[in-house]
Structure 1
Amino acid sequence: MMISLRGCIIWDNVRLADTPWSRLRGLLGRQGMMPGEGLILTPCNQVHGFFMKFPIDLVFLDRDHYVMAIDRLDPWRISPLVRRARAVLEVPCGTAGDRIKPGDQLELASSATGGTQS
């Protein structure tokens, strides 16, 4: 899956975690994330960094993919609870805040089909 803003691709290798098992596993066991990589947890409005080995950026999205909040999550910490969020995008640390801001609407596109969801 690819994520873009106003037609500009921001992350091009994003996986979807939409089952209880895939959300539970998340990024556990990973040593880090590559540039362009991400994980969308849905439904989700709060995450934790227990057993994580590296910090990440979090992007909280509403049901229409509007950015509600952006935060950094360090290992062994808990993110804020963003009540109206429907998904959390986890991306490499330092890659969210300089590219997007609250209020932006992200576009999600399947890498295989090229179709978009905004």
Structure 2
Amino acid sequence: MGGAAHNPVRCCSATPSGQDRLRSPDLLGGWVSAAVSTFQLKQPTTVDHSEFPLRLQVNAVAQDCYVKEAASVWRRLRGLLFSPRLKPDQALWIRPCNSIHMLGMRYAIDVAFLDGNGVVLQVNRCVAPGRMATCWKARSALEMISGACETHGIRPGAKLSMNR
């Protein structure tokens, strides 16, 4: 079939420099082997949880979620502002706290409001940047990346505890 068009196609894979590559359809097979040799495989590393020293338990079952506490006035006021995006296994526990704001945030979060005994009173899922969430009876709030409350089984009535 000598009449095949030779139009470049955009590959969805990023190059080491972070840019997309333009390749011809007949070169795509060669690109795969070149990409494997270009990227170096990293050995798995142990995750450092020193910044998140507490471990979350939901209904007395330990979760793969590590928690940082914000108890000082400055840490509560700052919250997640100016910090890197939370990972699915990280959370910020703000106490005392009965409302949160998302002013200046760049990503959505889930917020679980807790009473003084650690029982979840309310869960606000996917609180978008620029919004607020309030639970007047709450004594503390647990902020997680959007979708993490569902993943860890956090729902109203669940008993949460943070242990070292």
Tell me the TM-score normalized by structure 1. 0.86
CA deviation after TM superposition for structure 1 residue 32, in Å: 1.4
Q: Distance in 2 between matches of 1:95 and 1:52?
A: 17
Taking only aligned residues, the RMSD between alpha carbons, in angstroms, comes to 1.3
**Residues 38 and 24 of structure 1, relative CA distance in 2, 3 Å threshold:** same
Q: Distance in 2 between matches of 1:92 and 1:69?
A: 16
User: What is residue 58 of structure 1 aligned with on the other side?
Assistant: 111
Out of 85, 88, 105, the residue aligned to residue 32 of structure 1 is 85
Instruction: Assess if the C-alpha contact under 8 Å between 1:11 and 1:38 holds in 2.
Output: no
The number of residues matched between the two structures is: 109
Higher helix share: 2
The structure whose Rg is larger is 2
What percent identity do the matched residue pairs reach?
A: 31
Out of 70, 92, 104, the residue aligned to residue 123 of structure 2 is 70
Out of 84, 89, 100, the residue aligned to residue 142 of structure 2 is 89
Q: Structure 1, unaligned stretches of length 5 or more? A: 111-118
User: What is residue 154 of structure 2 aligned with on the other side?
Assistant: 100
Structure 1 stretches of 4+ with a deviation exceeding 3 A read none
Q: Deviations over 1:1-25 (max 9, x none)?
A: 0111233223532100001100111
User: What is residue 63 of structure 2 aligned with on the other side?
Assistant: 10
Pair 1:20 & 2:73 matched: yes
Q: Distance in 2 between matches of 1:100 and 1:12?
A: 12
Q: How does 1:44-55 map to 2 (within 5 A)?
A: 44-55=97-108
Q: Distance in 2 between matches of 1:107 and 1:29?
A: 26
Tell me the TM-score normalized by structure 2. 0.63
